[in-house]
Chain A
Amino acid sequence: MNHFEPEYETGCNIMPEKAQDPMKKQRVTRDASQIGVDIFLLFRDGILLDEAKTWLKLYIKRHAAKALETGSLDNAQLRLTHITGEGIDAAPVGTLFHGSASKQSRFGELKPNEKMQLQLHGLISFLLFAREYPAIIITEGEEIERLCSGPDGVSHIQDLRDDAFIIFVTDRKGMACARRQQLHAVPWEDQSQEPVIERTFLFNRTRQIKGFSSVTHEVRRKVTSYGKKAENRKTHHPVLIIGESRTGKELIANALYRVSGLEKGRFIAVACGTFTQGLLLSEIFGYWPGAFTSSDSHGGMGLIQSAAKGALLVDDMDAADDPAGLQGAFLRCLITDPPQYRRVGARPLKKPLSETADTWLMFTLNKPVREMIRSGKLREDFLFRFQRIIQSPRLSARPADIPQIALSLWKKSRSDGRPLTIPTLRHLRYLNTDWGANAGELQALLLLAQECLGENKLLTWTEAIDRVLEKGEDYLTWYENDPKRPVSSVQEPGRIGWASEKPGNRPLPSLQDPKARMAQPHIPSCELPKNTDDLIDVLKREIRTRPNTGLEIDVVKRVYRLHGQESVCEGERLEKRNYIEGYRHWYVLGTEHKDDADNESGLVRLLKRAYAEDTISRLIQSIGKETPSGKIHPYKVLLFLALHPDNSVKRKEMSAFLWDRKGNKPLTSFETHREILSRLMGITREKGPALRKGTVYQNHLLVLEYIGNEWILRLLAREKDISQ
């Protein structure tokens, strides 16, 4: 069936002679835009009807003509696909068009990957979830009905309706059906193909904006109508783009720049948050020599001038120090056309007081306008100077675009990962209709899921995505290693260990009061009892009842400090260090005192107090002597804490405790960790079970023993009654 050979390899010589020269000029911008349309010929018996043929021929002719007009016939690719009852083929265009029509245009073929997806999941899924170009479907009425009913019982009519770039070309019966279902359809008797041509070229001109939904289509329409060619455009109407962050404001600005044919000039974007406001103004408008201290003696050209004949995007106006002031600075250049501005330090007589630059100004805002006006951050007179305002729609307003956006994000982010398939894209699309995420969060979701997939090859994409979502929307939870704990215990101050101890002493914030609840920090730091013994009681209770390492260490710190002040040594400290290797925080026992031994035997004393006698009786037997010879490295003790039977400590957390104090290097990998443990375990290494990766030791006790001048660590199975 495959009579047709793609001709784009031997591109130049089949071009007609006249078109050679302008084409060569365009070769520079060859990759800039590829004009592509997918045409599906959907005939169950495999025979093209004559009307369809004539329509197709005409379309190809016009497409080529339009592409020539746009100036890049080189990439005007039409991909014809013939779907019959038997299978999917590249359409037999070679036999269809012997004449000049086939030579003037360029035909492509679906990529093998796309073809496979189309075969496996059917046309409708392919159209809705995996297509990258506008699609024209030439078919009969019955086929439309069959498409609408859906292959697997699930009807996607709403999505089909919403899609602005699926165009049906049918007979009369099909038209009736399409009208009933409110689909985009054109009768094939109709010889004027302008609407179809317009639409496909509209899409290809604004290709940076992803998605096919009607909401996005509106944006595309605005972009093309605002960005007419410079010669058609009498005035430089400045453009204001409003939308939340990561909804594609800059993409829209870029599309405007490309559509309007300003490629001769530059596209320059300034983010207002980057400089202080005075500096920003001198950056944008430029300055004359001596305008300020250390100004260049030749003066400086402003960005507005260096973007002349191009476009200047002033990004995130609301992030500036004084947004209203910044808007005031632009007021004058917004009314004059071309924009007239004044450099910093311009004086009459010597320098031109005001200059003009042929620059198209664009501004973006990422806060709601009404709120900004109300809070005085947006001047109304600034807003009124715009005739052209584009709202960048949120992702939740156009869920049908999620597959396309995900695909493009995926292609941009990394190419060697597991490919996104139609079921995955469909899963993303129907994930949650009121998903408040933006493109950035979508990207994060994909990357995190990719990490899951890398860790576990046997996982599928949808499983990985679900796993990521399970972990929660809070991005930070990925980097915290807290064992799972019920939300209520974090927020309710009443449930924290010692709060119930002496409730009369301080007023408990009421649980109903949200402010008080918010004010209560996660690790309580201010309300510990003063007395050391009470504190140790708290610690005991905490360690036995609640597996919360953060809290334990906090309390240990306190005990240690108090104790140290009293009897051991003043130089001891337990530091809290932040943000190392992705751990939110972790603790180091350190000392400023040189003689470690005594300090650390003080720690033994502390341990003796902190734990129940029976838990550490063996420990005490062997290390209880508080002599200088009984050296314990602090990290061993912390390890002991971490592996305490009542803790379920994750691997990462454990290795965070293991910190090589001498070489300033964190021992974070489990391998190093295991190596240390086995070194510590010494002779008993063969006897006890080896520590295994990824396991949580809940029912085991890690015991340090001092035998024969050597520290030995052993893993013991825990008896059940210890906690009682």
Chain B
Amino acid sequence: MPVVWIVEDEKTYREKARAIVAHTAADADMELHLIEWDGHGPLSDEQQSKPADLVILDLNLSHGISGLNALRKIPGFHNRHKDRLHPYVIIWSHFDGELEVDPMPRARDLKFHFNPDRVFRTYWKAETNLETALQGFLSRMKEEGVYHG
């Protein structure tokens, strides 16, 4: 079963994301394993045992943690090798001014190799919202096949 991680510190947005994931997955006729994480707490055993296939990421987490740093703790991102494909990432920016607060870092500042083909960023008011991004990545997962984590 594909594993979807939602990394988000605010409860309201987390629930919103959960709802969107649920109904998109239902539309795509896929069963997902959903894991939520606030981005700074320790990972439980269950969370450790579920390597991500797709991560919905908030950039601006509380305690001043950047989402991209939090990403490194998620199982599935440990492998830094350039040739291995990392999980899909949707960087989800809901509008609270965080576009200005936390801009996307440059590629060379990142600690690991991001495959631009597998990362998507949604912007506030953009044509591509979380739902369409999810739809696209879910259909790609369906076609390419997913590890059963």
A interface residues (Cβ-Cβ under 8 A, vs B): 112, 116-117, 120-121, 418, 421-424, 453, 456-463
Give the dominant DSSP class at A's interface. helix
Residue B140 is within 8 A (CB to CB) of chain A in the complex:
yes
User: Which of A424, A453, A458 has the most CB atoms of chain B within a 10 A radius of its CB?
Assistant: A458
Contact, CB under 8 Å: B136 / A459: yes
- Apart from the given pairs A458-B132, A460-B139, 14 other A-B contacts in the complex at a CB distance below 8 Å: A121-B145, A421-B144, A422-B145, A453-B117, A457-B116, A457-B136, A458-B120, A458-B128, A458-B137, A460-B142, A460-B143, A460-B144, A461-B143, A462-B143
Contact, CB under 8 Å: A460 / B145: no
Q: Which residues of A contact B84 (CB under 8 A)?
A: 112
Residue B135 is within 8 A (CB to CB) of chain A in the complex:
yes
For the complex formed, measure the closest distance between the CB of B84 and the CB atoms of chain A, giving whole angstroms: 7
The residue that B145 contacts in the complex, of A117, A453, A461, A462, with Cβ under 8 A, is: A117
A459 to B120, CA, bound (A): 12
Q: Which residues of B contact A117 (CB under 8 A)?
A: 145
Q: Which residues of A contact B135 (CB under 8 A)?
A: 458
**For residue B90, which residue of chain A has the nearest CB?**
A458
For the complex formed, measure the closest distance between the CB of A158 and the CB atoms of chain B, giving whole angstroms: 24
Q: Give the total number of A-B pairs whose CB atoms are below 8 A apart.
A: 43
For the complex formed, measure the closest distance between the CB of A361 and the CB atoms of chain B, giving whole angstroms: 45
Residue B17 is within 8 A (CB to CB) of chain A in the complex:
no
Contact, CB under 8 Å: B143 / A423: yes
Contact, CB under 8 Å: B133 / A458: yes
Residues of B115-149 at the interface with A, using a CB-CB cut-off of 8 Å, are 116-118, 120, 128, 132-133, 135-137, 139-140, 142-147
For the complex formed, measure the closest distance between the CB of B137 and the CB atoms of chain A, giving whole angstroms: 7
The residue that A458 contacts in the complex, of B136, B142, B144, with Cβ under 8 A, is: B136
**For residue A418, which residue of chain B has the nearest CB?**
B117
**For residue A459, which residue of chain B has the nearest CB?**
B136
A358 to B118, CA, bound (A): 56
A418 to B133, CA, bound (A): 17
A112 to B128, CA, bound (A): 33
A-B contact pairs, 23 of them (CB 8 A): A116-B147, A117-B145, A120-B145, A418-B117, A421-B144, A422-B145, A423-B144, A423-B145, A424-B143, A457-B116, A457-B136, A458-B128, A458-B132, A458-B135, A458-B136, A458-B139, A459-B136, A459-B140, A460-B136, A460-B140, A460-B143, A460-B144, A462-B143
Known A457-B136, A458-B132, A458-B133: A421·B120 in contact at CB below 8 Å? no
A518 to B117, CA, bound (A): 45
Q: Which residues of A contact B143 (CB under 8 A)?
A: 421, 423-424, 460-462
Q: Which residues of A contact B146 (CB under 8 A)?
A: 120
A456 to B128, CA, bound (A): 11
**For residue A417, which residue of chain B has the nearest CB?**
B117
A457 to B128, CA, bound (A): 11
User: Which of B84, B135, B139 has the most CB atoms of chain A within a 10 A radius of its CB?
Assistant: B139
Contact, CB under 8 Å: A457 / B144: no
A461 to B145, CA, bound (A): 13
A456 to B145, CA, bound (A): 20
User: Which of A453, A456, A460 has the most CB atoms of chain B within a 10 A radius of its CB?
Assistant: A460
Q: Which residues of B contact A421 (CB under 8 A)?
A: 143-145
Q: Which residues of A contact B117 (CB under 8 A)?
A: 418, 453, 457
Residues of B92-124 at the interface with A, using a CB-CB cut-off of 8 Å, are 116-118, 120
Q: Which residues of B contact A112 (CB under 8 A)?
A: 84
For the complex formed, measure the closest distance between the CB of B50 and the CB atoms of chain A, giving whole angstroms: 18
A422 to B142, CA, bound (A): 12
Contact, CB under 8 Å: B140 / A458: yes
Q: Which residues of B contact A116 (CB under 8 A)?
A: 145, 147
User: Which of B118, B140, B146 has the most CB atoms of chain A within a 10 A radius of its CB?
Assistant: B140
User: Which of A116, A423, A424, A457 has the most CB atoms of chain B within a 10 A radius of its CB?
Assistant: A457
Q: Which residues of A contact B132 (CB under 8 A)?
A: 458
A456 to B137, CA, bound (A): 11
Q: Which residues of B contact A422 (CB under 8 A)?
A: 145
A116 to B85, CA, bound (A): 12
A460 to B140, CA, bound (A): 5
Q: Which residues of A contact B120 (CB under 8 A)?
A: 457-458
A121 to B145, CA, bound (A): 8
A117 to B85, CA, bound (A): 13
A421 to B139, CA, bound (A): 14
Q: Which residues of A contact B136 (CB under 8 A)?
A: 456-460
**For residue A692, which residue of chain B has the nearest CB?**
B127
**For residue A113, which residue of chain B has the nearest CB?**
B83
For the complex formed, measure the closest distance between the CB of A681 and the CB atoms of chain B, giving whole angstroms: 21
A228 to B144, CA, bound (A): 44
A69 to B131, CA, bound (A): 61
A602 to B147, CA, bound (A): 69
Of all A-B residue pairs in the complex, the 7 with the closest CB atoms, nearest first, are A458-B136, A120-B145, A460-B143, A460-B140, A421-B144, A423-B143, A460-B139
Q: Which residues of B contact A462 (CB under 8 A)?
A: 143
A424 to B140, CA, bound (A): 11
**For residue B147, which residue of chain A has the nearest CB?**
A116
A116 to B148, CA, bound (A): 11
A204 to B140, CA, bound (A): 35
**For residue B146, which residue of chain A has the nearest CB?**
A120
Q: Which residues of B contact A120 (CB under 8 A)?
A: 145-146
A423 to B135, CA, bound (A): 18
**For residue B142, which residue of chain A has the nearest CB?**
A460
For the complex formed, measure the closest distance between the CB of B135 and the CB atoms of chain A, giving whole angstroms: 7
A219 to B75, CA, bound (A): 50
**For residue B134, which residue of chain A has the nearest CB?**
A458
Q: Which residues of B contact A418 (CB under 8 A)?
A: 117
User: Which of B133, B136, B137, B147 has the most CB atoms of chain A within a 10 A radius of its CB?
Assistant: B136
A116 to B147, CA, bound (A): 8
A424 to B143, CA, bound (A): 8
